[in-house]
Copies of this chain bind each other. A is one copy, B any other.
Amino acid sequence: MTVVSPTSVVSVGADLFADAVAGQAVDVSRVEWRPPMPGTEADLATVAADPLRRDANERALAAMLGVTAHLVDVVPAANALGLEPGQFLHAGPPIAWARASGPLRGALMGGAALEGLVDDPDDAVALFESGRTVSLEPCHHRGAVGPMAGVVTPSMWMFVLEDLETGRRTHCSLNEGLGKVLRYGAYSPEVITRLRWMGDVLGPLLQAAVRATGPVDVTGILTQMLQMGDEAHNRNRAGTLMLLRDLAPAMVGTGHDGAAVAEALRFVGGNDHFFLNLAMPACKLALDAARGIEGSTMVVAMARNGTDFGIQVAGTGEEWFTGPAQLADGLFLGDYGPEDANPDIGDSAITETAGIGGFAMATAPAIVRFVGGTVPDALATTRRMHEITLGENPRWSVPVLDFQGTPSGIDVTRVCRTAILPQINTGMAGREAGVGQVGAGLVTPPSEIFPLALARLAELARARATA
């Protein structure tokens, strides 16, 4: 049923027409009709009745939206995170070598070679199988995020982002570009050589430039990007260019060799994804402000290790709710096909958790040429994500939706009640260690992790009610 008048539309049922009209900034009132996820009715009722919920979610959303992330330094992970030889960080929830997917294994093997623990990355397999002198830990447990495999080793240089009001910090490695790169599980000599150049030349240059320039407002750059066709997960073109604009003058003035500066400018300028590694820790910095708020049903992290997809929720502490990572549906590079792709991997879904990436696809319609789908799909996706989020981000607006704020603060109860899953734009790694990137596409979390989180929220609410 569809009723049309010049200024408002009521739409019940299929979303195609409602989304088309809403895409033109016409007021749309949707009438909910989807059944909740099976088996969640009782927990939904319990959590809905939790007296803490409303205020806790308001505080969680406000805490997230109130953070401004500044790039304040660039330093090796050993210094930034206290990472010691043999310690490896990885994307997603905790996982051991035995269950690690191909691309995570490949990145760990390359990381071991980079750190000089082995000469040949293939020799690292025995090292990780024995597990005696090495350890794996999620980036998220050390205040960091890592795209794709997300492997961080002590010698890798990290962006340091800070909330200047509180001094809280988050971290992310420097982006290597596309194709045969460590984060997609490649570990050939060219990968290691590039990482060494990043450590020897690029990192120190960026450190000098950031220290000379002073804090760079990453949240502000994200505001601009969203008006320039980037959704800040799989399109970071404008963001990368703005970072170059902000740092290039100081890079020139650092007293470094002109040829090295020119090479660094070319490397950053030639990698449209360079800014992703700033967008991600900016999103984590905002979301971390909402951690530990009792009663809040807001998701504060979505992360994948290539085997498991995990979420963390404001009201459930550091607990991970996990299920099997899914295969993305998308576009493949060269001759690669679905059979070559590893399940979903990376901490980069922190962008969607903060309301950009797949949640902001409407502002980046050109993204469909990279991740697949159609332009109307992209517009519809952003509208749909408003149905599972607590609010809008006034600083991150979507011009084509009449400057509506991005859908922000994924609410576990809304996901369970509507059965609408968060939409994630993602790169696809090859399933075999060493392959690298095979494509990019669209993916969702496994649906069962939201009822798991809801059940824990309900359990805590019941415990409070009877305390």
Which residue, A375, A379, A401, has most C-beta atoms of chain B within 10 A? A375
Flag whether A193 is at the interface (Cβ < 8 A): no
Chain A, 231-270, CB within 8 A of any chain B CB: 237-238, 241-242, 244-246, 248-250, 252-253, 255, 258-259, 261-263, 265-266, 269
Starting from the known contacts A229-B238, A252-B261, 7 additional A-B residue pairs (CB-CB under 8 Å) come to: A24-B379, A228-B237, A238-B241, A244-B244, A249-B269, A375-B400, A375-B402
Q: How far is the CA of A261 from the CA of B252 in the complex (A)?
A: 7
User: Which residues of chain B come closer than 8 Å to A368, judged between CB atoms?
Assistant: 399
Flag whether A281 is at the interface (Cβ < 8 A): no
Flag whether A374 is at the interface (Cβ < 8 A): yes
Min Cβ gap A231→B in Å is 12
Flag whether A25 is at the interface (Cβ < 8 A): yes
Min Cβ gap A14→B in Å is 10
Which residue, A237, A248, A375, A376, has most C-beta atoms of chain B within 10 A? A248
Chain A, 1-29, CB within 8 A of any chain B CB: 4, 6, 16-17, 20-21, 23-26
A242 B241 Cβ-Cβ under 8 A? yes
Closest to A379 in B: B24
Of B6, B229, B261, B399, which one neighbours A375 at CB under 8 angstroms?
B399
Flag whether A326 is at the interface (Cβ < 8 A): no
User: Which residues of chain B come closer than 8 Å to A20, judged between CB atoms?
Assistant: 21, 24, 26
Closest to A362 in B: B400
User: Which residues of chain B come closer than 8 Å to A4, judged between CB atoms?
Assistant: 4
Flag whether A227 is at the interface (Cβ < 8 A): yes
B248 A259 Cβ-Cβ under 8 A? no
Flag whether A366 is at the interface (Cβ < 8 A): yes
Q: How far is the CA of A163 from the CA of B183 in the complex (A)?
A: 42
The 3 closest A-B pairs by CB, nearest first: A241-B241, A365-B399, A245-B269
Number of copies: 2
Flag whether A403 is at the interface (Cβ < 8 A): yes
A16 B26 Cβ-Cβ under 8 A? no
Q: How far is the CA of A233 from the CA of B400 in the complex (A)?
A: 19
User: Which residues of chain B come closer than 8 Å to A399, judged between CB atoms?
Assistant: 229, 365-366, 368, 375
Closest to A264 in B: B249
Of B245, B255, B379, which one neighbours A241 at CB under 8 angstroms?
B245
A252 B252 Cβ-Cβ under 8 A? yes
A238 B228 Cβ-Cβ under 8 A? yes
Min Cβ gap A371→B in Å is 13
A265 B242 Cβ-Cβ under 8 A? no
Of B249, B259, B266, B375, which one neighbours A25 at CB under 8 angstroms?
B375
A252 B258 Cβ-Cβ under 8 A? yes
Q: How far is the CA of A374 from the CA of B26 in the complex (A)?
A: 12
B253 A258 Cβ-Cβ under 8 A? yes
A259 B253 Cβ-Cβ under 8 A? yes
Closest to A237 in B: B228
Q: How far is the CA of A248 from the CA of B270 in the complex (A)?
A: 12
Chain A, 255-303, CB within 8 A of any chain B CB: 255, 258-259, 261-263, 265-266, 269
B259 A376 Cβ-Cβ under 8 A? no
Query: 0/1 per residue, A206-229, Cβ < 8 Å to B?
Result: 000000000000000000100111
Min Cβ gap A179→B in Å is 20
Q: How far is the CA of A238 from the CA of B263 in the complex (A)?
A: 22
B250 A262 Cβ-Cβ under 8 A? yes
A-B contacts, 27 of them at CB < 8 A, read: A4-B4, A23-B23, A24-B376, A228-B229, A228-B238, A229-B229, A229-B399, A241-B241, A241-B242, A244-B244, A245-B269, A246-B269, A248-B248, A248-B269, A249-B266, A252-B252, A252-B258, A252-B262, A252-B265, A253-B258, A253-B259, A255-B258, A365-B400, A375-B399, A375-B400, A376-B402, A379-B400
